[in-house]
Chains A and B, each alone.
Chain A
């Protein structure tokens, strides 16, 4: 596993996040806003639940026929003049991109936001091979300057406030200090415009890939995808194999649901439908379009009956916005490119349960994530399944937990010892021994001793009360 991923440090990083007042303020403000606008937007449709059911069935159809649909998509892309590559894993995908770029002597790369490129750690790979890579989504550009990963699927810089961004631009880019978001955006526009105009290649992700037409659909609000896929001579689109849609006719349903679930908009500002490279008589556009279909363990995830539906996800980020753990811990605590409930479910499947065994516990199981998911990924059930699997693998449980449960099992199966223990605990609590449980009550209501044990209460009851 890549050293820059650290999902097994969740508890430590989450605790640091809880102690970070700036982060807590930023998250509270952003999450409240996101949840509110999403809830308002979905009310546009009286048949939202029917839409969710249809979206679920359509995405499930894709998973069940993925082999046929991938070949159909490839065939149509080739017919359109788009080159298709398959990548078994992250290394293969990075090497393929390197080969494409080096064959054209492309050095300056502009990139638009893509969680799949984060998953394969593409920027790090390209930079270590001498490429100049610039993220062009404003949020991504900010976190790139800070040398940080994004902290949210749709809002990469959601954990930062305007002062931190103003300091960053002033110190790293030597720009005049301003905390005005409009001015900061203008500064970024000026710098990034030059990057667009001089870029040799553009790299993007893909939201949907239509098997029946070979079209790829990329959604955005800023216009950076539009420029990334129009101005450079080469466009490379990295697409997870699960992003396929059987029919282009399904797109309106998904566009309606994705925009509302992600940002509370009726529709994103730019929805790019790309199908072929620049034709001889056209005025601009990439001379080559390459689509890289990335597996990276997805085909094996398909086999898992209990967890395969996590591949239905369309990366809207709605589950993050409602998750009480994400809303406090933030995205960096998850230590991987996917965060929140969906991250807690797919990360262990992508990189192995042993490398991310803390993430399924990053949930209160309140089921809000499952309720908002536009494609009905059964996230709460999947979190429980993963917890069950962790419990079944002795090597993944901490030794203290294993010993503790053995003692607990022995005590609770021994009646006399149980009575003695409850008596001793009651006695100890009278002398302020509950302070020993302070770590438990730091972020929870303090434990209070009941005046009588259950057995004592039971004894006191009359026959009828019982």
Chain B
């Protein structure tokens, strides 16, 4: 509708003809409130404030498998677990460690799966959120479709504020992402908070120390 484009732009131009235009506004750094403690501890606290669950930071493989074992025993996650293809190096080990579970590399169609494990690109302490992006190794829906999602976050990718995290993603050339702050929720019925509307009801965060992630 190029006629509409011309018409709209002409109308705006005519409307702005007698307006004295304001100057460009510099980005204003706000006083973001923070709790005390190390950045990893703060990330855990803030994520849990949003209704998710976060384990203490994990240092090595043993920590991870021990934690996953405990996690699988606590939550009703079902037998089949979709994993992001970014986690392919772990697939064989996961299958060996948890023979009663069926792990498979996601293919973008995981509507029948009750649980998924995916990579979080960054974490933000300010509001206890994580950023998840999509590419050839991870689909858009893996972080939202299952009822139970486990996010793996590298400790070196945790930032204090949204400003820092968004800048870091842009520098990495990532153009699309979703910022996730806890389980899917609604209060549309009498303001009663209900989790697990369209997205996951349970969201768990595993923060991985640097050396561990590099091995993956």
Contacts and interface: CB of A to CB of B under 8 A. Distances in A.
Chain B interface helix/strand/loop/mixed: loop
Contacts of A303: 14-15
- Give chain B's interface residue range (CB within 8 Å of chain A): 35 or more
B37 interface: no
A67 B16 contact: yes
Contacts of A70: 8-9, 12
B185 A275 contact: no
B133 to A, nearest CB: 9
Interface string A138-174: 1100100000000000011110111001000000000
Contact of B188 (A71, A156, A270, A285): A156
Given A224-B198, A231-B141, A142 B178 contact: no
A384 interface: no
Given A51-B30, A270-B199, A248 B166 contact: yes
A282 B12 contact: no
A161 B190 contact: yes
Nearest to B143: A226
A348 B145 CA distance: 42
Interface in B128-150: 128-129, 134-136, 138-141, 143-145
B80 interface: no
Contact of A299 (B15, B49, B145, B179): B15
A252 B163 CA distance: 6
B59 to A, nearest CB: 29
A303 B19 CA distance: 8
A256 interface: yes
Contact of A267 (B2, B134, B181, B197): B181
A256 B16 CA distance: 30
A226 B194 contact: no
A282 B180 CA distance: 21
B189 A227 contact: no
Contacts of B144: 223, 226-227, 230, 270
Interface in B115-163: 127-129, 134-136, 138-141, 143-145, 161-163
Nearest to B199: A223
A444 B196 CA distance: 45
A193 B176 contact: no
A458 to B, nearest CB: 51
Interface of B: 1-2, 4-5, 7-9, 11-16, 19, 21-25, 27-28, 30-33, 49-50, 106-109, 111, 127-129, 134-136, 138-141, 143-145, 161-163, 166, 170, 175-192, 194, 196-200
11 contacts: A51-B30, A85-B4, A182-B194, A188-B197, A247-B27, A252-B166, A253-B30, A256-B30, A265-B181, A266-B49, A282-B134
Interface of A: 26, 29-30, 33-34, 44-47, 50-51, 54, 57-58, 60-61, 64-67, 70-71, 80, 85-88, 92, 96, 136-139, 142, 155-158, 160-162, 165, 181-182, 184-186, 188-189, 192-193, 196-197, 213, 215, 221-224, 226-227, 229-231, 241, 246-253, 255-256, 263, 265-276, 279, 281-285, 293, 295, 299-300, 302-303, 305
